[in-house]
Amino acid sequence: MLQTEVRDTVFLVKINRPEKRNAINDALILAIEQVFSAIPEGVNCAVIYGEGPHFSAGLDLSELRERTIVEGLHHSRMWHRALEKVQFGTVPVVAVLKGACVGGGLEIASACHIRVAEQSTFYALPEGQRGIFVGGGASVRLPKLIGMARMADMMFTGRVITADEGMPMGFSQYVVPEGTGLEKGIELANKIAQNAEMTNYALMHVLPRITDSSQSEGLLMESLMASIAANSPEAQERMAHFLAGKAKKLGE
C-alpha cells in the first residue's frame, strides 16, 4: 500500500494502489501517519508520489460505510492526525502529482510543503457533488494555497482544474512534462536536504504559525526565529564560508 526507499538523504514514499487509482482507505491513511512518524535517521527531506498514472483519485468509495456522527468525527480527526505528521513532521515533504489529484488526494498534497505537477495532473473536490463535505483538512489548508473563493467554486460547481491552470492559482509550485515529475521532485528534495536544519524547521513549523497570527505576534516570532537561526553553529559556519567567498552561487 505504501512503499518506501531511502536515497542518500531523501526518503521516497510511494502510494502503491494503482489498480484503485491510488484511492485512499483507512489502512492507507494510517500507514501515512506511521511512516511520517518514523522518518529514518539521516533523512533530510521526503518525496511522496503515486504508482501508475494517478497521484490519488481520493477516497476509496468501495470501502465507505455508514457512521454515526461521533464515529464520523473520529474518522475525520484520524485524517487530521495523520496529515499533521506530514505538514508538521521532522522533514520537509515534496509531493509529485500526476493524473487525478482529487478529494482526499488533494488533501494529502496540500499538507506537503512543495508540489510538483506533471502536465496530466488535474484537481477536483467532488465532495460537493456527492452531498458531503471535506474532512481531511482541505477546508483549512487549501484556502491558504488557492483562496477560499476558488475552493468554494470547486465544491459548488464540481470544477476541474488542470495542471497549467493550477500553478498560478497556487495548487503547485512547478509544472513539468509528463514522466519527469519524480526526477524533478528528487532534484528539489536534494536541494532542500542541503539547507540548515534550523532553517527547514522554521519554514515547516514557524512560518505557518506566523502567517496565522496577528502582525505583532508574527513579527515577534520572526525576531525570535531569526535570532535562534543566526546563532546556530551551522549558520555561523555557512556565513563564514559565504564571507570567505566559498559558498555556492545562487541557483547552483
Phi-psi domain of 216 (left: phi exceeds 0; alpha: psi -120 through 50; beta: other) = alpha
Measured CA to CA, the distance from residue 250 to residue 85 in angstroms comes to 31
* Alpha helix positions (H), the chain: 26-37, 69-87, 104-110, 138-146, 148-157, 163-169, 181-193, 197-201, 207-212, 215-230, 233-243
Block residue for cell numbers 485524517: 79
Measured CA to CA, the distance from residue 148 to residue 108 in angstroms comes to 18
Question: Which of these, 3, 1, 8, 4, lies nearest to 189 by C-alpha position?
Answer: 8
Q: Which of 41, 51, 84, 127 is catalytic?
A: 127
127 belongs to the catalytic site: yes
183 belongs to the catalytic site: no
Q: Which of 5, 107, 217, 234 is catalytic?
A: 107
- Amino acid present at 221: M
The secondary structure of 144-211 as a DSSP string is HHH-HHHHHHHHHH---EEHHHHHHHTS-SEEE-TT-HHHHHHHHHHHHHTS-HHHHHIIIIIHHHHH
Structure letter (DSSP) for residue 87: H
Question: Which of these, 9, 142, 120, 116, lies nearest to 57 by C-alpha position?
Answer: 120
Q: Are residues 49 and 94 in contact, defined by beta-carbon separation less than 8 angstroms?
A: no
Q: Are residues 3 and 14 in contact, defined by beta-carbon separation less than 8 angstroms?
A: yes
Structure letter (DSSP) for residue 13: E
Catalytic residue ranges: 107, 127
